[in-house]
Amino acid sequence: MQIQTTSFLEKENNHHKIDLNHIISLNQTYAKERFDIMNNSLKILDYVYKKYSSIKIASSFSLEDVVVIDLACQVWKKPTVFFLDTGRIHEETYYTLEQIRKRYNINLEIYYPDSNDVEKLLREKGPFSFYESIENRKECCYIRKVKPLLRALKEVDGWITGLRRGQAITRSNVFPFEIDIEHGNILKINPIFNWGLENIWTYIKIYRIPYNPLHDKGFPSIGCVPCTRAVQPGEDIRAGRWWWESPEHKECGLHKK
C-alpha cells in the first residue's frame, strides 16, 4: 500500500493527533476482504463517530451516498450531511434529497457556489465553456464544487464519502482511511470502499432506501445536468460523466489522491 508521507506525520487536529502509522494500522485492519462488508462498514463508522467529535458526510444523494447515510444513522444519533448544490442539479436529485431528509434524523447542510464567481464565469465564457477544454471544465467544477467544499470542511476532524474502488479507474486504490492533504490533513473515511454495485443495490432494496429515480433510466452516475448522460448497455458506469473526456480525467477535483 502506497501512502504519501510528508511533514504531516503527526499533526495536531481540533481534538486528536492524526498519526500516519495509526492510519496504516486502521487500513490493515479494515481493508481485509474477509470481513462481511456491511458489518465492516458499520465498524468503520462506529469507530469514527466514537473517536472524533466533528465529522460530516459528503452526499450527492447517489446510490452510494444514501447507503452511507443509512449506515451512519445506525451508529450515530444525528449525523451531519452536506450537499454541494452547483446550481445545475437534476430535479430528481432534489427529490431524492427531500426523501432522505424526511426519512432520516440528519443535520443537513447545503452549500452553494459564490455568486460572483459564477457570474464572472458566465459573463466571460458563457454557460457551456466546460465542453471546450478540460481546463475550462475543471474551472467550472472548481467554482461550483471545489470552493464550496472548502467551506463545508472548515474546522472538521474528517469527512465521510461514498467512494468505491469499482466506481472508476481513478478510484481503484481507495482505502477506508485516508489523510486529506488538500483540506488541512484531516481524515477522509470511505466506509463502503470495497462494496460492489450489486451489494449497493441489494442493500437499497432490502432496506427500501429512497434513491434517485434517474438510476432507473440508465444513469449509474449522476452529476450536473449538462455533464451527465445515460449510459448504453456495456458501457462503464462513469461513461456518462464528462463523456467527451478520457477516463483518466473524469474527476471534478473533490477527490484528489
> C-alpha distances in angstroms, 197 versus 142, 161, 229?
28, 16, 19
Going from N- to C-terminal start, the domains of the chain cover: 14-214
Q: Among 80, 60, 55, 76, which residue's Cα sits nearest to residue 180? A: 55
Packing angle, helices 63-75 and 37-51, rounded to 10: 60
Q: Which three cell numbers stand for residue 8?
A: 504531516
pLDDT of residue 54: 96
Share of the chain above pLDDT 70, in %: 86
pTM of the model: 0.84
- pLDDT of residue 1 exceeding 50, the answer is no
pLDDT of residue 4: 35
CA pair distance 45, 223, nearest whole angstrom = 26
> C-alpha distances in angstroms, 202 versus 38, 45, 57, 67, 126?
11, 20, 22, 10, 42
End-to-end CA distance of the chain: 13
- pLDDT of residue 9 exceeding 60, the answer is no
Q: Residue length, the chain?
A: 257
Q: pLDDT tens across 143-168, in order?
A: 999 999 999 999 999 999 999 987 77
Active site residue 252: yes
Q: Which residues pair with 229 in a beta bridge?
A: none
Q: Which three cell numbers stand for residue 39?
A: 458489518
Domain 14-214 annotated CATH 3.40.50.620: yes
Q: Are 35 and 184 in contact (CB under 8 A)?
A: no
pLDDT band (50, 70, 90) for residue 27: confident
